[in-house]
Amino acid sequence: MARAVWTGSLSFGLVNVPVALFSATEEKSIHFNQFQAGSSDRIRNKRVNERTGEEVPYQDIAKGFDLGGGEYVILSPEEIASVAPGRSKTIDVSSFVDLAQIDPVYFERTYYLAPPAKGGGKGAERAYSLLREAMLQANKVALATFVLREKQYLVAIRPRADALVMETLLYADEVRNPDEEIDSLPVEAEWSPKELEMAEMLIDSMTTKWDPDEYHDTYRERLEDLIEKKRSGAVVTVEPQAPEGAPVVDLLKALEASVRATRRESSSSSGSSGRAGGTKNGTKKTAEAAAAEKQGSADKPVAKRAAQKRAPTTARRKAS
């Protein structure tokens, strides 16, 4: 069973709901220790004085803020602790907003909020259940602040049918503006109505229902297989990497080829049943179905728009 990483109360208005905080995710990457190549000797990292080369005990280490030009402001642990927010026992809700208003780029890490296993009682469970249901009915998420491990967080708390979910959020000054940071943005490009129609058809033919169980970390699976082969003494042959794909020259031809490939893939899997994803009947929408839908409206807006506008359309995409 998961262990609570924090216990306290969720506070909004004059209401305090006892809660415990649990990690909602777990990291599954494979970790390695370091060895000197050709030996079984482990490599260790040490904290070493750059000038003397001597190892420094952890308790003798201070922190320095780099001002540039080789100048630092040195702070002791006690000095840093004097401005730390201190341990918090409450998650203080400041407001409620629509979830759609929060750009996913601000989401950082996910936790579950649940009634505490001890010290809560029926009153805590009733208050927790009432708050979750009220938020579900209002279709709102709560914005709040709290302190975990001496760091202050802005969080969004959203309801699910089984639990309250808390997402730590990045602050506004931690999210980069793509137009300011990336030289190739904003994008100005030209495309024809036919290219747009084919792109929409391709998207339609690849649309499925979201099923997280359909997706796997294939690199981790291959790495686990490699480790098992090495453990059993098998000889591992390293194959050269496949060359990178050539850049798209003719966008329309590439789109048409993609739709044909999707049509073949859909046809080959049309006999299978029980696959997650797709349209309301649980099957993936085929390129033929998408084409039929497009054909049904061919004499209406799309065809009319294409007839009226033969020249390429200029699209300017700006990041919000």
Per-residue pLDDT at 9 exceeds 50: yes
Mean pLDDT (whole number) for 265-271:
71
Give the pLDDT of residue 35: 95
Mean pLDDT (whole number) for 207-236:
91
Confidence band for 297, pLDDT divided at 50, 70 and 90? very low
Per-residue pLDDT at 237 exceeds 60: yes
Per-residue pLDDT at 229 exceeds 60: yes
Residue 255 has φ and ψ, to the nearest 5°, of: -65, -45
Q: Is the dihedral of CA 170, 14, 149, 85 positive or negative?
A: positive
pTM: 0.71
Give the pLDDT of residue 317: 38
Note every long-range contact of 94-100, with CB atoms under 8 Å and residues 24 or more positions apart, other chains counting. Answer: 94/143, 94/144, 94/145, 95/142, 95/143, 96/135, 96/138, 96/140, 96/141, 96/142, 96/143, 97/140, 97/141, 97/143, 98/139, 98/140, 98/141, 99/139, 99/140, 99/141, 99/156, 99/158
DSSP state of 173: G
Give the pLDDT of residue 282: 41
Residue 305 has φ and ψ, to the nearest 5°, of: -65, -40
Percentage of the chain lying above the pLDDT 90 cut: 51
The DSSP bridge partners found for residue 145 are 92, 154
Give the ranges where the chain is alpha helix by DSSP (H): 77-81, 121-138, 178-181, 193-205, 218-231, 251-268, 287-296, 301-308
Give the pLDDT of residue 81: 84
Range in 25-34, 122-131, 164-173, 223-232 with the lowest mean pLDDT? 122-131
CB-count burial class (<10 Å; 0-12, 13-18, 19+) for 50: exposed
Give the pLDDT of residue 175: 96
Mean pLDDT (whole number) for 212-236:
91
Range in 4-8, 199-203, 258-262 with the lowest mean pLDDT? 258-262
In order of their start, the domains of the chain are: 6-26+84-174 (2.40.290.10), 177-212+252-266+277-320 (no CATH)
Q: First-to-last CA distance in the chain? A: 42
In sequence order, the 6+-apart residues with CB closer than 8 A to the CB of 228 are none
Mean pLDDT (whole number) for 69-84:
90
Number of H helices and number of E strands within the chain?
8, 11
Per-residue pLDDT at 139 exceeds 50: yes
Per-residue pLDDT at 308 exceeds 70: no
Give the pLDDT of residue 151: 87
Mean pLDDT (whole number) for 275-288:
42
- Strand 15-23 relative to strand 107-114, pairing: antiparallel
